[in-house]
Every structure is written in C-alpha cells, then in structure tokens.
Structure 1
Amino acid sequence: MPIDPFTLVSPPLFAAADLREIEHRWTAAHPGRPLMAGAGAAAADLACMLARDTGEPILVLAGPGNNGGDALVTARLLAAQGFRVVVVSRADPARLPPDAARAWADWRDAGGNALTDVPAGQSFGLVVDGLYGVGLVRAIEGEDARWIGLANAMACPRLALDVPSGLDGDTGQVRGCAVRADHTLTFLGLKPGLLTADGPDHAGTLHLDALGVEPDMLPAVAGSALTRLEARHRLPPRPRNSHKGVFGHAGVVGGAQGMVGAALIAGRAALAYGAGAVTLGVLDARVAVDYGEPRLMFAPPERLVAAPLDVLALGPGLGQAAQARVLLETALASTCPLVLDADALNLLAGDPALSEMAARRTAPTLLTPHPGEAARLLACGTYDVQADRIAAASMLARRFRAHVALKGAGTVVTHPQGRYAINTTGGPHLAQAGSGDRLTGIVVALLAQGMAPGDALEAAVWRHGSEPSIPPAAI
C-alpha cells in the first residue's frame, strides 16, 4: 500500500547499490516471488486513482529493463480492470532481464501488444513512465528523449515508476532530459535523487511502497530524509527559574560597509530562536545600534572574536578585506563552536593556511555554503558540486572535519563521521538575499542553547525551510 513518505520520521535513503542488495536478499529469501509483481500492483492501484475519467486510454512507456517490466505488469492489471491501455516500447523481449521478460510474456498472453512509437494526435487520460529507473548512468537521447518530450507536453497526469526517467536516483541530476512527473511511486525506499537538485522539480508528489520487504532485509545506510524533527532536534522545555545566561551568549561577526544588513538579519534570527544574548561585531563602525531589534548588543569585532562565547558565527556581510582575514584567523583559534558562512568561506577557500587551521580545530566547526562557495572550497566548478551534491558536501565534511549544510533545493547536511541527511522543507521562497544569513542565526541560537552541533545544523535547516513564505505581493 503506497504511503506518503513525509509522514515517516527520518526515513532512510537508498542508493542504486543499496537497492540491488535489497533485491538480492529478497530473491534469496523468497524465490519465485518477484518484487516486480508487487510494484506493478501498487502502480496499477495508484494509476486507477490518477487517470482522468474521460474514457481516454492510458499510455504506458516501457523501457528495456526492470522498470519497463514494472510498467508491463501495471499495464496488464489496468487492462484487466477495463482500462484501455496503449503500451509503447522498443525493448527486445529476448534481451529483457528475467523478471521483465516474464512480465512481457504475461502481457502478451493477456492479449496485449506494444507499439513502437507514441500514436500521433491521441489524447490520454494518464501517462505511466516506466522507461528507466534507478541506476541510469548515461544521458537519455534519441527516440527515448523524444518520447519524454511528448509525455511532458501532454495535458494529462504523469505517473513515474520508482524515479522519473532521466533523473539520476542517486544524485538528482537530470541526464539529458527527464520526465516531469506529477506523481512518482517509488519502491522499497526513498532515493536521494528524488529530494535534492533537480529531483523535487521532476518527481511531483511522492508515494512510497516498501513492497512488503522485511526491515531486517534493508541494509544500513548513511543517509536519511529530514521529514520531521526527532527528539534530538528539540530543546528541552525552559524552566521557569531561568535567566538569559542559561541560554547562551552568541557572537556574530560581519557587516562590512554596505553589507550591515546581513549581520543584523543573523543576529535578529539568533534572538528570535532563543539565544540568551547576542552580540554583533560589525565591521562598519558607524553602526552601533539596531533600532529594529534594540536587544542586540554591539562590540568591536576584534574584541568579539576573542571573547568567551558559547558560539561564534563569522561571515554574514564580512567582506574579504585584510581585516576580515585577521578576524577569521582569530576565530579559527577559538575554543567554542564556530559557524562559518558567506565570505568567511570564500576567505577559507583562498588561503591554504586558514584551511589547515580550520581542519585542525578541536571545537565543533559548522559550514553553510551555497553551491558556489562549496565549489571554491573544493577547487572545482559549481556544476561539479551540483552534479553530486551529496558527494560534494561529504567531501567538505571530511576535509574540514566539520558539519556541513550545502544549501539549495534539498539542502544536504553532512557530518564528519559520514552520516548525511537531505532536508525536505523549504522552497523557492528561500532564494532571496538574506536567507542564508537567517539560517546562520538559527544555527547560532540552537548551539548557544546547548544543542549538539550536528543536530543543531539539521534542526536549523529544517526549521528555516518550515518558516512560512511571504508572497511578493504582500511585502
């Protein structure tokens, strides 16, 4: 029975290699009970609910692998329920994998056939995409690309099986072109690529069916989806007998001339999320008070980076002048948790000595780069970072022994020990100046109140994405 995966708490994320292991374990334990039968049945049930009630046929695109076999089982079951079904496939039945070949034979024995092209001028009530599933390693081109273009242009719902064809299930990268599904029914478990990079724009509404696979058959994996906060992501209730010192003193350094707003945004967010006291070290010496949030304190940045704090953040509006570099060097020597963002990351990327200092820190270090900053830190192109966001964030976590939030669609949070999570909140409303500064402030607030660094970064990312968006017309 398909479920909404976002009702689960921290569901695991399975890469293509993990799924092959699950299938191998299932086959060994349940010979003669192919998972394909369950996948096709689940897809047929969902397709029945999604197909438009117009009497138009359902188009099923079946590829040359097991994803195509899932589609053929779906087609046979839909036809048995009285739907008109048009199967389009150029797969050679003699070269199909065993389970897919059996699905083809069952479809043929039930009186079905397959066209070699999408009928011109025909309207459909639903498209079922079973061209390519997980494990795709090449760009889709030729006739397959043309079929995807036709499917994307059709005025009917599109249901993708497992992952939309053309989307890399491990990375979320589009390989050539990809189906833009309205719904994706994914099997066994969630795939990382459905949640990050181009995945959210192509998967539509996600449905999950574990196909009855027992939990003990699932391999341990490093990744999970940040769907809801766990207990570790929550601060304990505040006692009545408390004072501001109990909830931490946070420092935020940045705000060079012309960029003061970045530091103010971070500081205001830190207060809003519960830090006991927040002091700003603003490089623009003309600013000594925030009239919008007068609770913020101000101190010379050189004094603040050397002060005894519960947490220090450096970067919002920092700039890259000589003064900024000196401040970063001093901050790297601090013994409190350190959050580095924006120009602090750019300075780190351009100075091997500073990078070495960061990697040698014994206190927790948290990095919150966007893809461009991550690319500079890794000495590669932004395209390379976006091509495999999980790998890029994991590399940063290892290199700097840091907790890392690689921002973007499906923010990836990685940790030094190899664990990672992909956030499922947020949206394009966060693509605005100041958004990253606010995230820095939320991270600072949770750290100041004593939350563990990795948990604080995950919780901050999730909470930041959960904040309500403000329509442009309402601003």
Structure 2
Amino acid sequence: MHHPLYSVTQIRAIEHAALASLPSGALMQRAGAAAAQWALELISEVLPVLVLAGPGNNGGDALEVAANLRDAGVAVTVLHRAGATQSSGTAAALERCQMEGVTFVDAVPAGVPWALVVDGLFGIGVTRAITLALPPFTCPVLALDVPSGLDGDTGTVVDGAVRASHTITFIGDKPGLHTGDGRDYAGIVRVASLDIDPALLPVPDAELVTPAAFGAQLAPRRQNSHKGEFGDVAIIGGADGMAGAAILAARAALYSGAGRVFVAALDTRLSLDAMHPEIMFRAAASFALAGRTLVVGPGMGDGARGLLARAIASDSPLVLDADALNALAAEPGLQDAVRTRTRMAILTPHPLEAARLLGVTAKVVQADRLAAARELAARCGAVVVLKGSGTVIAQPDGRIAINPTGNAGLATGGAGDVLSGLSGTLLAQGWDAWPAALGAVWIHGAAADRLVGQGSGPIGLTAGELPAAIRAVLNSLV
C-alpha cells in the first residue's frame, strides 16, 4: 500500500492502542508540535493568529498549537468552546496557554486581520451542524486532523463546516479529505504520523492513487516494435447526433498509444475524423469484436443493446461507459453477464449512472462514495470507476482507491469519453483491469492539471484538449 487511507474507526483504534503505552497527553503534545511547525511556515505577516478550540481532544490539540505559537513569539487569540468535561491532556494544554499569555475571547473579534486561523473545533467526531458564526477568512486556514464539519470517511459536510486551505491530519490520512467535498474543504493535506509504532497500523481501508500503484506497467517502447504490439481499440457508439463522444474516446485511445483505433459507429454516415484520419470507421452492426479491446457506450444511445450484449459475451477486454451503463441499469440480465464474464470489465459511471445501477438516487451515492463504488463493484464483478472530485476506484473484493489528480476543468462534456478511451488503450496494451483503471484515472486528472498549469482552464477547458495532454503525461511517466 503506497499511500494508505484509514477510516475514522481505524484511526480511533490505532490511537487507543498507542495511548496504552504512552504518558497522558503525549499524542496531543505531538499533534500540537507538528501543527505549530506547519503553522509557522504558513504565517507570512506579523499579525496575530486566531485559534478555534472545541470541547474535545481536537480542541486540546488546538490549545497545544496556541501555546507553542505563543512560545515562538506569535500573538495568539483563542476562542475556546470548553466542554462539560475535559481530558487531563486538554487541561494541561489550557494551563500552558494561560501561562504563556494567550488571549482568550468569547467571540471572533470583528475587523482583526489574521495571519492564520487554526481550526480545532470538532475534528473527526463531528455529528451535528456547526452553529458557531464565523466570518469569511481571507488568510490561510489550517485545520487540525479534518476541517470541522467534514466527515473523515465520506467527504460530506454539515452546515457551517470550516473551509480550510491546509489540513494537517494525524496518525494516518483519511478518505474523506480526498473525495466528495473533501478536496474543497481540506485544501493541501499533510500527514503527521505522531511517531505511532507502525506495528499498530492495520490494513488500511483504502489507498490514494500514486504512479507507484501502476508504475510496474510502464515501460519504454523498443525501437524494434510495431503497431500490432500495442493493441486494437474499438469504440462502439456514435449514434446519430452523438458522434462527438465516440470521436473523443477514439482520439484519447490514439494519443495514449493504441496500435490501431476503430470507431464501430451506429450512425453509418460516420466515415472519417478529418482531424485524425488515423482513426478507422466501421459499421457497428457488422464489426468483428474478436481480438479488439472494446469501449462500449460513448454516444451509443439506447438502441444498441444487442451489440452491447455481444460485447459483454465476448472474451475481449472491456470498458463500459455512458449509455452502456444505462442499458445495464435497465436490464439486470446484462449485469449478470458482466459479473460472469471471464475477463473483468471496467465500468466508469458518474454518480447518476451509478445511482441508476444501484437503484438509489445520486444524492445517496454522493453521501458515501466509497460505499457506493464498493457495492457496485461487488454486484457487477467489475472494477468500478466512480467519477467525480476524488474519483473512487473499487474492486469486487472491496479494495478501494481514491484519485488525487484532476480539477474542476474536467466538469465538461466529453471528459468522461476521453477517460474511457484512455482506459481501453491501457487494457489493449496488456494492463490488467485494476492497474489500468488506476493509471487511466490518475493520468486523465494529471492531464487536466497540466493544462490548467499552462493557463488553459479550469474554466473553459474542453475535453478535446485532453488527449494531447494525456500523451505528454504518459510519456513523462515512462
């Protein structure tokens, strides 16, 4: 596991086990020291720091940060929401703050320019809306463990959640910081292990995708090679009025290294991509499926279920997207056929498509993206790519990964078609379904990040710009 992600339940168990052999308050002191160190790095002006300290241990961490910052010569103001009871560690941290001369207030002072705000209100234990009225902050906001109001498991938020620019998360990284609303609310995430004995760490609940997760598949191409070594990719779709989806998927396959690319078009008038005459067009009804990697769904419409059934029944590597997924949702028999095929397929639903497949609403899917992806993968016996901010990739055995690349520029028509074409090409080049899904999602997001870094977006980034950027990212990896 290259970048493990631990559930809140796992983190609490690790913490409980560690505390059994540590002095009272030791983990709180370590958390406060690690957070104060990063806080000092984030302070760029000689202005006071506001620390928001809640009633639990997260508030104790915040008080430790306040005392450490004051000891370093920083002016610190603390808004402390004390609970009915407090741990001995929190009591000691409060006493340190008072001895260091920290200023305590009952409400956020109006009109004060802050160098930094430290959020230690609720941490991973939040179960209710945050009623404390907070003004909008223009300075950096450093959250301790998780931003208050953000669910560390699911990435969902409650009313009044704190939007942080930076989050220092303790013991281990959490899934909710990287999917759903997590990326918007957590900002830049840093992990502080607090010197926990690695022997106390269980098998993680999930992992964050890094190139190391699929890097074994990457290899430079030999000079003495030919197109037949890099696979045939066939995009099955392109119904009347929806040619663009199939062409985008085909271009992605071309730019990501497929030996040959076909569009098996439902609209028989399609015969050429004038910008890319390398792509070969065939009539879908008579197209031979054997020996090709199949990407079914881009622009397919709802009139090709027989062709979809043929593709599922084939022994070809298979990616199902868009209208193919809607057909699966409408016909449980097709889902059974996907589950029992000899080669594991890749499914790439967005939340609404996943909701149709699961028989729920998109809101339910988004409320727990990891659970939805895991259930869908188990039902269909396939690798599932649940698209969105922090795309979730799931295997039928329950293994989960979350992708950290990509940006809001991908919220545009056709971006998913590009991902399906890229996924198909990696399968065609001999990658197994799991690393192909991980690699495709990471590279797709990294291509969007590359374009934004070059000034193209995120507003107005188009799917047609992605294939060339994918080529650049893929070659830089190799």
Normalising by structure 2, report the TM-score: 0.90
Deviates more, 1:39-48 or 1:342-351: 39-48
Q: What SS class does the counterpart of residue 134 from structure 1 fall into? A: helix
> In the alignment, is residue 462 of structure 1 matched against residue 442 of structure 2?
yes
Match in the other structure for 1:121: 111
Identity over the aligned pairs, expressed in percent? 47
Match in the other structure for 1:135: 125
Deviates more, 1:275-284 or 1:81-90: 81-90
Match in the other structure for 2:177: 194
Match in the other structure for 1:430: 410
**Which of 148, 154, 158 is the equivalent residue of 1:165?**
148
* Aligned-partner Cα distance in 2 for 1:360–1:101: 59
Residue pair 1:375, 1:382 contacting (<8 A) in 2 also: yes
Match in the other structure for 2:59: 68
| Structure 1 residue ranges without an equivalent (≥5) | 1-8
Residue pair 1:248, 1:277 contacting (<8 A) in 2 also: yes
Deviation string for 1:238-288 (max 9, x for gaps)? Answer: 233322222112211000011111111111111211111122111111011
Q: What SS class does the counterpart of residue 20 from structure 2 fall into? A: helix
**Which of 238, 245, 252 is the equivalent residue of 2:221?**
238
How many Å apart are 1:111 and its aligned residue? Answer: 4.9
**Which of 312, 315, 321 is the equivalent residue of 1:332?**
312
> In the alignment, is residue 51 of structure 1 matched against residue 43 of structure 2?
yes
Match in the other structure for 1:264: 247
Residue pair 2:289, 2:316 contacting (<8 A) in 1 also: no
* Aligned-partner Cα distance in 2 for 1:431–1:277: 29
Aligned residues: 455
* Aligned-partner Cα distance in 2 for 1:473–1:398: 37
Q: What SS class does the counterpart of residue 32 from structure 2 fall into? A: helix
How many Å apart are 1:104 and its aligned residue? Answer: 2.6
CA RMSD of aligned residues (A): 1.9
* Aligned-partner Cα distance in 2 for 1:240–1:123: 61
> In the alignment, is residue 39 of structure 1 matched against residue 31 of structure 2?
yes
How many Å apart are 1:358 and its aligned residue? Answer: 1.9
Which ranges of 4 or more aligned residues in structure 1 deviate by more than 4 Å?
109-113, 472-475
Residue pair 1:355, 1:400 contacting (<8 A) in 2 also: yes
**Which of 299, 305, 315 is the equivalent residue of 1:317?**
299
| Structure 2 residue ranges without an equivalent (≥5) | 463-478
> In the alignment, is residue 104 of structure 1 matched against residue 94 of structure 2?
yes
Deviation string for 1:207-247 (max 9, x for gaps)? Answer: 22111123222111141111334454533332333222221
How many Å apart are 1:301 and its aligned residue? Answer: 1.3
Residue pair 1:397, 1:415 contacting (<8 A) in 2 also: yes
> In the alignment, is residue 289 of structure 1 matched against residue 279 of structure 2?
no
Deviation string for 1:429-453 (max 9, x for gaps)? Answer: 1111111111111111110010111
* Aligned-partner Cα distance in 1 for 2:405–2:71: 40
How many Å apart are 1:32 and its aligned residue? Answer: 4.1
Deviation string for 1:322-351 (max 9, x for gaps)? Answer: xx1111111111112211000000111111
* Aligned-partner Cα distance in 2 for 1:86–1:474: 43
* Aligned-partner Cα distance in 1 for 2:69–2:86: 22
* Aligned-partner Cα distance in 1 for 2:162–2:82: 19
User: Given residue 80 of structure 1, which amino acid in structure 2 is its aligned partner?
Assistant: D
**Which of 288, 291, 302 is the equivalent residue of 2:285?**
302
User: Given residue 255 of structure 1, which amino acid in structure 2 is its aligned partner?
Assistant: G
* Aligned-partner Cα distance in 1 for 2:242–2:128: 42
Normalising by structure 1, report the TM-score: 0.91
Q: Given the superposition, is the C-alpha separation of residues 266 and 23 from structure 1 closer, same or farther in structure 2, using an over 3 Å criterion? A: same
Q: Given the superposition, is the C-alpha separation of residues 446 and 473 from structure 1 closer, same or farther in structure 2, using an over 3 Å criterion? A: closer
Residues 388-427 of structure 1 aligned to structure 2 (within 5 Å)? 388-427=368-407
> In the alignment, is residue 87 of structure 1 matched against residue 69 of structure 2?
no
Q: Given the superposition, is the C-alpha separation of residues 241 and 121 from structure 1 closer, same or farther in structure 2, using an over 3 Å criterion? A: closer
